[in-house]
Amino acid sequence: MTLQGEHTLIAELKRGSKEAFDRIYKLYASRLLAYCVHYTKSREDAEEIVQDVFVALWNSRETIRQEETLHSLLFTISKHRVINAYRSTLNSPVYEDYVDYQNELSAGEDCDRVEYEQYVKIVKDAIRRLPSTQQRVITLSRFSQLSNKEIAERLSLSEQTVKNQLSVGLKTLRELLAKVLVLSVAGLILNIVNRWL
């Protein structure tokens, strides 16, 4: 097969070409594997996720809307597979936020990354700055993964109060985290620079 643009491969994939699928696999598999290993810290788990991503691509080939590139589609599927793989062992909403944070940092290639444990510590420290009701509601929602109804029952509040406190608390928390994470990354960079002096 002659060298083709990705848009041609996508068109052929939609028509069921296994050769196009193989070429797309070769184009993306190693990048997806590196992405997944970064989060799973396990090559075996990452390989399994990458295989699942390509099975999903093949199974949905006829309904693919992308025409020029599959980059964002494949990395989005990978992100969701990574989060699902950790749903039972890690605190999923916090881990999902962490993966989103890491993806945003990827845009700035020179930024140091904050490891997951450090990220959780930063989140918990930021939560402690909120009013006590918001602290309890967010902790029960994000760390214990309780529904608004369960939180209302546990804290003797109305569901609407829980919903309001969660909404206001998460908005404030996002603002706090934006500042803290920027400072944290800046602090990491400053520490590296200081070691050079």
The pLDDT value recorded for residue 161 is 92
pLDDT in tens, 128-152: 888 999 989 988 887 777 889 999 9
Other CB atoms closer than 10 Å to residue 88's CB: what's the count?
7
pLDDT in tens, 23-34: 999 999 999 999
What 3-state class would DSSP assign to 17?
A: coil
The Cα-based distances of 184 to 72, 79, 112 in angstroms read 28, 24, 10
Which DSSP string corresponds to 75-116?
Answer: HHHHHHHHHHHTTTTS-HHHHHHHHHHHHHHHTSTTSPPPPH
The pLDDT value recorded for residue 182 is 58
Q: What is the pTM of this model?
A: 0.48
Q: Which fold has domain 1-85?
A: Rna Polymerase Sigma Factor; Chain: A (1.10.1740)
Q: Which of 14-18, 31-35, 80-84, 132-136 has the lowest mean pLDDT?
A: 80-84
> Identical fold at 1-85 and 91-197?
no
Q: Which fold has domain 91-197?
A: Arc Repressor Mutant, subunit A (1.10.10)
Contacts of residue 127, defined as CB under 8 A and 6 or more positions apart, other chains included, come to: 135, 138, 139, 173
For the chain, give every domain's residue range.
1-85, 91-197
What DSSP character marks residue 3? -
Give the pLDDT band of residue 2 (cuts 50, 70, 90): very low
Contacts of residue 158, defined as CB under 8 A and 6 or more positions apart, other chains included, come to: 152
Q: Distance between CA 76 and CA 53 in Å, rounded?
A: 10
pLDDT at residue 75 tops 80 = yes
Of the two residues 87 and 24, the one the predictor is more confident about is 24
Contact 99, 79 (CB under 8 A): yes
The pLDDT value recorded for residue 195 is 43
pLDDT in tens, 47-67: 989 999 999 999 999 898 888
